[in-house]
Structure 1
Amino acid sequence: MNAPPLQALTEDAAPRPTPLAPHAGDRWLVLIVGAAALFSGLLILWASQNLAIAAGFVATLVLIATLMLVFRRLYPPQQTVVGTIDWSLTREAADNDNAAVAITDRAGRLVCANDLFGAWFQGFPTPPSLAVGQAGITQLTAAGRDAWRDGQADVDLIEFNGMRFSARLLRSGQSDDHLLWRFRRHRTLDLRAEARRLIEGEGGDRLGEAGIMIALVGGEGRIRAANRAFVARAAGRADAPIEGRDFVTQLVSDREGVIRFAEEGAKGTALRLLQMPLEAGVIDSPTLLFLIDDEYAVSGRIGGPGGTGSHLQTLLSMLPLGLALTDRDGRFLFVNDAFARAAGIDEGTMPVYPGDLVVREDKAAVADTVRRFGAGQQALSGDIAVRLRNNPEEPVALTIAGARGLGEAAVLLSLKDSSEESKLKRQAEQATKMQAVGQLAGGVAHDFNNILTAIIGHSDLMLMRHAPGDSDYDDIQQIKSNSNRAAALTRQLLAFSRQQTLRPQVLQLPDVISEVSNLLKRLLGETVILNVSHGRNLGAVRADPGQLEQVIVNLVVNARDAMPKGGSVTIQTYAVPARDVRQMGSEILPIVDYTALKISDTGTGIASELLPKIFEPFFTTKEVGKGTGLGLSTVYGIVKQSGGFIFADSRLGEGTSFIIYLPVHDAEEAVETGPAPKVKQGELWGSGTILLVEDEDMVRAVAERALTRHGYTVLTASNGEDALEMLAQGVEIDLLISDVVMPTMDGPTMVRQARKTWPDLKILFMSGYAEEQLRKSIDLDRVAFLPKPFSVHQLAEATRAAIGAK
């Protein structure tokens, strides 16, 4: 800001006279000139005795005097007044000083001030009326009176906008009619500013490296500044905003008075707190608070004088065993991380007694045992079976031993974290159970398929002798229909045991969903809405489209049954690249690219305790008679046999979601073709000699009759040895049809022996087991396969295709 207009202030003090205005001195001059002119005129009149000459002379003198008077008034003489103050020179000198300067006159008006005065006091207020508070104004007013009286006065301390000033007042001027005000910055140390500079600067970093956390806390209890070490420990990261937080909330203390950072919780390092007020005796003065890690704050309670100290605590913390120490009264003194995990102790909720960890029924036993060991009544260790409060279903062994020579610590507790072991044990039991059930299901399905083959085959033979409309035709057709339903049941068993015969193809999931969408809409009805959405960049997968459709139908039907009052079913497909699988951190999914299929509903959901069981065979949540319990087990088997993975997520009242991950098919791999093209009905008849090997009499009989009716010459054998003997007799065989699993000698072994002599012998295997399972043990080429149960038509079709194959 500029200084006030000094020249205007001096002119107001001594105003300039208005031009041509009468003045006392001028009046006397007029009188003298007029008198002289009159006297001169009288003398001329007396001498010349001529009135005209005398009057002309007087008028001339008056005119000349009047002109001189006017000229004097218009152009007064310039006179230098001795003692006039040159304010511009004064202000120039004041601006070169290191102080804020102001000058006032006796009337209390500000007549001069330098720029620093305007900068410090936000303008040019007139002293003592500065914005320094009522106390400061009172000090300056009293100093002004003293300066007018004594010539000078001093003010030691004035505060304004966080700055501190001292002031000196001098009476000055030629007539001692002005007062000079000189303000200077107070030279005493500003502890608040210096403390903030130290904390937030390099000094604070050096203190942090030495393990000292420091914070400046105002009188209201809020943090004003803190070094990086304090911020990192209190807020979790060094760049977190800390200013303005309540200091007390950054710390917690336990029942023993040990303080820790709230961010670190009960497992954090104990701290020692030191405080230093910046201004002694001043209420609400800012305080410097120093926090130092104090390893003895806890370890001293464990060991006490001459005890274990921090070394025992460090040792127990490093051990993988769950260990804890209690005093003679049974109160916890120390708990390591392994013990806390095993006992289910949450951070910040440290119990007081060991009995607080177990169920109510075991509290008394634990408390009594700890008391006896703490009193020294038992010297050896002992185990006690307890049930933890957080997991009451599984008993655990709590080992208790007396501790001697450890100061306050009297009892040592050991608890093994068996959660992971129990989880692995349950998984192993589940896998063993599923494997056993799968083997049983596969064996039952194999035997059942043999029976169904005979039933279906005989039904086909009987239908050949009856035309539609006959009295027995409908009954035979019903027998065959029921047999096919039973065959579907065996396929479900084989799917669960991952022994189903699949015909995998390279396909796109949206195409499969499109094929089955019309069927799904009919199954869902009008009360359930079907939503379908597909993601982009979906990779092709390799699976049996028919079985994949069965998976979708089973999951959608289950979703419908879970929504008796209606709802919505959503089918989604999306790509899951390998990088996303890596981020998922799954221990089950290999890190490859997947195409995911998600089917979710808004139904009643599945309870969390039932989720691990939903894929088990014959497990169902439906009412008796409304479900076999094979739907989800079939889905599980098909997905696993296709190389995929399935996961379920459900919450009661919120719905259920199933996610299927199928690996993206590598285009460089050899693509297996689908099943061989079907032979037309007119081409089923053929000729040639067939050797039929089957240990099941009923299957052998129906197959023989079926092949004979289609024009073939059929030779039969009940086992592999008989078949080899027949071949050794030199019989010309066009096709060898054999069961795979037979007593004494199985089908593959027999074929290997036969091909040593007849390398071009054509083979058609038939079995109730899955083709994929059998091909792993059959290292033979040029082999066809026919799954059981089969119809007469299917047998004739497979035979015709095998004989015609080159």
Structure 2
Amino acid sequence: MASHAASETERLPAAVPMIVAAAVAVAAAAIVLTVIGSPVLAAGFGAAALVVIGAVWLFARLAPGSATDEPAIDWSVAHALASMSSDGLAVTDRAGRLVCANERFGTLFPGYPAPPNLVVGDWAAAQLGTAGRAAWRDGSASSGAFDAAGTKLTAHIQRVSDAMLVWRFVGHDVTDLAKQAQALVAGLSGDRLGMAGIMIALLGADGRVRAANRVLRVRAMGDERAMIEGRDFTRFLTTDNFGIVRFEREGTSGTPLRVLEIPFLDGENAPMLVALLDEELAMPHPAIGDSATAHVRSLISLLPAGIALVGGDGRFVHMNDAFVRASHVNPANPPLYPGDLVVREDKGALADAIRRFAAGAAHSMDMTVRFAEVPDEAVSVSIAAARGLGEAAVMLSLRDAGEEGRLKRQVAQATKMQAVGQLAGGVAHDFNNILTAVIGHCDLMLMRHAPGDSDYDDIQQILLNSNRAAALTRQLLAFSRQQTLRPQVLQLPDVISEVSNLLKRLLGETVELVVNHGRNLGPVRADPGQLEQVAVNLAVNARDAILAKNPNGGGTLTIETLNVPAHEVRAMDDDVLPVGDYTALRISDTGSGIPAEVLAHIWEPFFTTKEVGKGTGLGLSTVYGIIKQSGGYIFAESPKGRGAVFTIYLPVHTATEAPAKAVPVKAVQGDLWGSGTVLLVEDEAMVRAVAERALARQGYTVLTAENGEAALELLEKTGRPDLLISDVVMPSMDGPTMVRHVRKRYPDLPILFMSGYAEEQLRKSIDLDNVAFLPKPFSVQQLAEAARAVLAAK
């Protein structure tokens, strides 16, 4: 027994190379089967490999001096075969060791790790391990799709005898929808559609045919083998006086056609599918078979444009994925009728249009609807009859107007903001005239009443509330970008430092203020007082948002200044922000954020989410107006789960300051008594009366006129005055036009303009030197100081 056992032990090492050789042959055959896919060729190659390797081993055993040497296993053949595949291939043994792998596997998994021990994430590794065990048990298995090396892979595992596993990692290529549609139209799928009576062609952006099914070739050219590719599609069709379309070669006796255009891909150069259906007006169209219906649905499902089919009863028959996404359909609870998707106001019009086309309307139409899930966004829907497509009677197509719709909404928003701004500016101008009269009369009354008088406190209350109303008009003018600014060249950190103490008091002890300044900040030109107002308004809103999220406090308001050079702006690729150098101010908070439906309206005047009496709705609109009037840009963001972020871009000031044309109206200290003749031109009687009385009390002789023509006539009689005070905007002849006529006779006559509009806006249309400006509303003292300053400067 021992000797027999010993002999068996001696023979065992000699048999090991043959076992390994057999395993190599089987592995090579498996690789051939994986790469080429032919079982007969794989079996033949495995047998040949086994014979060759066996012969080599026998020769090595019989050769002198080789009795004790083990032959080396040559895997070069298997490597060469594996290299023929574009998939990643690997072979592992029972112990889980990597036996062989091709270069594609090494590219996908650097370092050649042994499957399933790949660096692909815990979930994918677990899937590979499960699939490997299943392959050992069942002979073959596949894993789920996973990401590796920047692509999506699926592993297919095949057991080779009981010794090895062959792993094949297949990548998922992106489908070229245009090429796939071209193959469908020109191939067997197009023939199936032709059997159902559907002629279909794929057209390029130039209108030339890329592919067509055989039935269309026969009808258009008379031969199913005719070369139609590259031909102008419109040359095959003709239209009579009634708008009926037919094939040109069939003439007026041919069968009328219904033409359905299906947008296929986005872009100007995108191809388009065109389907032609025979229009049998005298008899109902036969429905296509179930198999063809399913094929049409499959074809529609491939299209990126949102398309839905509606039956004769008005119910949905089919919706592709693009339609589901664009219409915000809940897949778990799909709607029965198209009207279920839109807002209440659009239900009737959409239902009537679908009913009309289901009854046989000849031409398609476009209409605009709003989906109930996004009522603020209008969507264009094309509606056309779809008879001959099985149960479908009407086809709905959503135009992919994402970028176009976004631009339209921006233009509409800008137009609305401009219109509201003009209205607000006009209201503020008229209101300023009223406030000028109220404040002026209060000042005149206070001159006759001393403190302690019974009427003194009442007059003070009227004056106080009038000044509050004046502040409100300044906000309206700020929104409409018509307020008076005093721009200076300044550094943003200096403005933030000035207002920081005020912000800390406004935020309270529970909200932390963090200020960070960037480096290499360029100077900006703006009104420092107005920039402080911007910071205060945004800080107050941030405080309210933080306290709304956490009533007990505990939040942070962060103010940052940043240098944004032109190359960074260019990298942003923003349609609104021009390329240039900017100094940015970013204000962010840790509050509750701004809902998406509110974010689109925050700049509108009088829009507020606060309770009645707790907000005017002018805070952010004022901020918007100040920044735009300063030549800057402001953007609001509210990332999900975080607070709001406001970013302000102010252009870096590089131009040399131009000498001012205006005469400064700095207050003159001391005695405001004056003398001389003043010509006062004002179309508002109440303002004219107050100004006349105020100037007369200061010692001036006052001449008044209600418009520019009357002023010129008065000057013809009285001669040159010492000072001309005029409103800017007046009927018939405005102030600047009148002053040009006056300056022809009196070139050095001092001029003081007064207006409720912004000085900066008016100076764009006033090309006059040495004129001063007094904004409305003004007090009696401010008018006296301005008149005294202008006369003193001449």
Q: Same fold (TM over 0.5)?
A: yes
Match of 1:147 in 2: none
1:360 matches 2:335: yes
Match of 2:597 in 1: 609
Give the direction of change, closer, same or farther, for the CA distance of 1:502–1:216 in structure 2 (3 Å limit): same
Residue identity in the other structure for 1:362: Y
Match of 2:628 in 1: 640
Contact kept? 1:362, 1:387, Cα under 8 Å:
no
Residue identity in the other structure for 2:381: A
Match of 2:587 in 1: 599
Match of 2:658 in 1: 670
Give the direction of change, closer, same or farther, for the CA distance of 1:320–1:357 in structure 2 (3 Å limit): farther
Match of 2:40 in 1: none
Offset at 1:317?
4.7
Match of 1:474 in 2: 457
1:786 matches 2:774: yes
* Partners of 1:591 and 1:437 in 2: CA distance: 29
Higher-Rg member (1/2): 1
Offset at 1:709?
2.0
Match of 1:721 in 2: 709
Give the direction of change, closer, same or farther, for the CA distance of 1:430–1:189 in structure 2 (3 Å limit): closer
Match of 2:542 in 1: 559
Which residue of the other structure, out of 89, 93, 102, is the alignment partner of 1:216? 89
Which residue of the other structure, out of 63, 73, 80, is the alignment partner of 1:194? 80
* Partners of 2:99 and 2:692 in 1: CA distance: 96
Compare 355-364 and 414-423 and name the one that shifted more: 355-364
Contact kept? 1:402, 1:412, Cα under 8 Å:
yes
Counting only pairs closer than 5 Å after superposition, residues 333-732 of structure 1 correspond to structure 2 as: 333-335=299-301, 338-339=304-305, 360-362=335-337, 394=378, 396-400=380-384, 402=386, 414-564=397-547, 565=551, 566=553, 567-650=555-638, 654-668=642-656, 670=658, 676=664, 678-732=666-720
Q: Secondary structure at the match of 1:681?
A: coil
Offset at 1:667?
4.2
Contact kept? 2:432, 2:473, Cα under 8 Å:
yes
Offset at 1:321?
7.7
Deviations 1:166-187 (A, max 9, x none): 4555799xxxxxx862758589
* Partners of 2:20 and 2:420 in 1: CA distance: 98
Counting only pairs closer than 5 Å after superposition, residues 46-445 of structure 1 correspond to structure 2 as: 133=16, 165-166=57-58, 168=60, 181=67, 183=69, 190-196=76-82, 198-199=83-84, 213-216=86-89, 218=91, 284=165, 298=184, 300=187, 302-304=189-191, 317=264, 320=270, 327-329=292-294, 331-335=297-301, 338-339=304-305, 360-362=335-337, 394=378, 396-400=380-384, 402=386, 414-445=397-428
Give the direction of change, closer, same or farther, for the CA distance of 1:163–1:559 in structure 2 (3 Å limit): farther
Compare 597-606 and 785-794 and name the one that shifted more: 597-606
Deviations 1:9-62 (A, max 9, x none): xxxxxxxxxxxxxxxxxxxxxxxxxxxxxxxxxxxxxxxxxxxxxxxxxxxxxx
* Partners of 2:679 and 2:427 in 1: CA distance: 27
* Partners of 2:481 and 2:393 in 1: CA distance: 58
Contact kept? 1:685, 1:711, Cα under 8 Å:
yes
Offset at 1:574?
1.1
Give the direction of change, closer, same or farther, for the CA distance of 1:515–1:231 in structure 2 (3 Å limit): same
Which residue of the other structure, out of 734, 756, 765, is the alignment partner of 2:744? 756
1:734 matches 2:722: yes
Contact kept? 1:398, 1:413, Cα under 8 Å:
yes
Deviations 1:534-573 (A, max 9, x none): 1111111111111111111111111222233222211111
Contact kept? 1:765, 1:783, Cα under 8 Å:
yes
Q: RMSD across aligned C-alpha pairs, in angstroms?
A: 5.3
Offset at 1:490?
0.6
Offset at 1:452?
0.9
Q: Secondary structure at the match of 2:631?
A: coil
* Partners of 1:334 and 1:241 in 2: CA distance: 43
* Partners of 2:585 and 2:785 in 1: CA distance: 36
Match of 1:90 in 2: none
Match of 2:242 in 1: none
Contact kept? 1:540, 1:664, Cα under 8 Å:
yes
Offset at 1:633?
0.8
TM-score (norm 1): 0.64
Deviations 1:170-224 (A, max 9, x none): 799xxxxxx862758589885312224x44xxxx7xxxxxxxx455354799997
Contact kept? 1:136, 1:159, Cα under 8 Å:
no
* Partners of 1:290 and 1:804 in 2: CA distance: 86
Give the direction of change, closer, same or farther, for the CA distance of 1:391–1:530 in structure 2 (3 Å limit): closer
Give the direction of change, closer, same or farther, for the CA distance of 1:429–1:776 in structure 2 (3 Å limit): same
Match of 1:744 in 2: 732
Contact kept? 1:704, 1:716, Cα under 8 Å:
yes
Residue identity in the other structure for 2:89: L
Give the direction of change, closer, same or farther, for the CA distance of 1:793–1:285 in structure 2 (3 Å limit): closer
Percent identical pairs in the alignment equals 55
Gapped runs of 5+ residues in structure 1?
1-107, 109-125, 140-155, 173-178, 205-212, 250-258
Contact kept? 1:381, 1:402, Cα under 8 Å:
no
Give the direction of change, closer, same or farther, for the CA distance of 1:660–1:170 in structure 2 (3 Å limit): closer
Residue identity in the other structure for 1:496: F
Contact kept? 2:91, 2:164, Cα under 8 Å:
no
Offset at 1:655?
2.0
Offset at 1:687?
2.2
Q: Secondary structure at the match of 1:181?
A: coil
* Partners of 2:466 and 2:15 in 1: CA distance: 106
Give the direction of change, closer, same or farther, for the CA distance of 1:348–1:284 in structure 2 (3 Å limit): farther
* Partners of 2:703 and 2:403 in 1: CA distance: 61
Aligned residues: 615
Residue identity in the other structure for 1:599: I
* Partners of 2:193 and 2:99 in 1: CA distance: 39
Compare 393-402 and 376-385 and name the one that shifted more: 376-385
Match of 1:11 in 2: none
Offset at 1:487?
0.6
Residue identity in the other structure for 1:360: P
* Partners of 1:340 and 1:568 in 2: CA distance: 44
Contact kept? 1:562, 1:603, Cα under 8 Å:
yes
Compare 652-661 and 513-522 and name the one that shifted more: 652-661
* Partners of 2:503 and 2:663 in 1: CA distance: 26
Q: Secondary structure at the match of 1:506?
A: strand
Residue identity in the other structure for 1:695: D
* Partners of 1:416 and 1:243 in 2: CA distance: 50
* Partners of 2:661 and 2:10 in 1: CA distance: 104
Q: Secondary structure at the match of 1:618?
A: coil
TM-score (norm 2): 0.65
Give the direction of change, closer, same or farther, for the CA distance of 1:655–1:341 in structure 2 (3 Å limit): farther
Give the direction of change, closer, same or farther, for the CA distance of 1:525–1:412 in structure 2 (3 Å limit): closer
Contact kept? 1:692, 1:738, Cα under 8 Å:
yes
